Chains A and B, each alone.
Chain A
């Protein structure tokens, strides 16, 4: 039981390991998919048989693969290499049922834990060598994928569906409320699971021919990094040299719609940064909703401007969101000189030396 506690204590590390391996799939899949739709120019999936349809297909492949990759590397973080196959297969099974990201996270955790304990089973030396080749992959996959297929897959799928239906219901009632929710969700974990839930809804909207939701999202995803970059320019005294460097990188990442650009700031100072980017993200998203900004692709940042209807409103919305983020975070942050003083008082007691 102690080991299980240990695994759960490191949940954040396991999830982040999975996310770190997933990010290139999201970026490659998302950009190529968006590119095919943008070049096609009709705001829809390109017609079959054209090279653009093939490009679209390549992008979709990246998106489909990120689910098993996320789960596989969550399990990898828990149970090392042996965890990858059971969790990835289980996540794929869950995804076919509609369990999506939630399913992938669960499959990763369960697969990791199952394999972790399978590896603990003491066996006779003669069959020791077949454990990693046969027993662990087969039994591990059977348990983990079976759990998704016959256990939690369907409930999670309906949870995801309900969430989507609820979000869709909102969009007719009050687009502004929806914009606030999307803005908050996309900024909250900067490209993490919560952001991706909102993003999954955006992909779904584009598929349904709803373009105001992706318009809102196109602003929401780029406000956190651009806002933080802007903040480093507005109040250089409140940021270290490294942060200013990261700020310039963040603006670039925001321009191409990668919310992760804000992570360095948020990880260094979550209490001040995350609320700021959430409020800024919501402000930008609401502005986009009020200007009725429409986007033909499920991506964000300045890079999608060819696919935007209401380009002026789009730019104003980004400026509003980034401005709110920057002003709020700078109002909360103290100058670097005061920060360092505080740090040196709270010495390194929390960093304990262990023998590895």
Chain B
């Protein structure tokens, strides 16, 4: 199982990275492969390539501000949440995605 995510926030200095870290931690706890791209104020880091996305079973996107190149994820199961919620509730979001992925298998 693999989950990818993109995080971004208005000031792009704190929330973006806290949300990314929360997703990484929540996935690692369940031994899920994870890669999170951050679109902070210094720009895009850890860019998700076509291959990354092709292998992913589900996508987590923050919805505080526009995610750049969001059309990369067309056709994928996506959860959109505010960065603040991701930081607080990443484990339950991941749990929800795991249930969803297993139910579609």
User: Which segment, of B30-38, B44-52, B57-65, faces chain A?
Assistant: B57-65
Q: A20-B12, A24-B41, A191-B11 are in contact. Are A353 and B96 (CB under 8 A)?
A: yes
Q: A23-B11, A351-B93 are in contact. Are A242 and B78 (CB under 8 A)?
A: no
**Residue of B whose beta carbon sits closest to that of A16:** B10
Q: Are B15 and A263 in contact (CB under 8 A)?
A: yes
Is A173 part of the binding interface, using a Cβ–Cβ cutoff of 8 Å?
no
Q: A13-B63, A13-B66, A356-B73 are in contact. Are A343 and B78 (CB under 8 A)?
A: no
Interface residues in B, total, Cβ within 8 A: 41
A-B interface contact total, Cβ < 8 Å: 99
Instruction: Tell me if A's interface is mostly helix, strand, loop or mixed.
Output: helix
A353 to B97, CA, bound (A): 7
Partner of A347, one of B12, B78, B79, B92: B92
Is A217 part of the binding interface, using a Cβ–Cβ cutoff of 8 Å?
no
Is B88 part of the binding interface, using a Cβ–Cβ cutoff of 8 Å?
yes
Q: A24-B41, A267-B83, A356-B75 are in contact. Are A348 and B14 (CB under 8 A)?
A: no
Min CB gap A154→B, angstroms: 30
Min CB gap A22→B, angstroms: 10
**Residue of A whose beta carbon sits closest to that of B65:** A17
Per-residue CB contact flags for chain A residues 238-271 toward chain B (1 = under 8 Å, else 0) read 0000100010010000000000110110011100
A242 to B22, CA, bound (A): 9
A351 to B82, CA, bound (A): 10
Is B9 part of the binding interface, using a Cβ–Cβ cutoff of 8 Å?
yes
Contacts of A17 in B (CB 8 A): 10, 65-66
Is B76 part of the binding interface, using a Cβ–Cβ cutoff of 8 Å?
yes
Q: Are B87 and A268 in contact (CB under 8 A)?
A: yes
Partner of A242, one of B13, B41, B87, B97: B87
Show the binding face of B for A, using Cβ within 8 Å. Answer: 8-15, 18, 21-22, 41, 58-59, 63-66, 70, 73-85, 87-89, 92-93, 95-97, 100
User: Which 4 residue pairs of A and B lie closest in terms of their CB atoms, listed nearest first?
Assistant: A348-B92, A264-B14, A17-B65, A16-B10
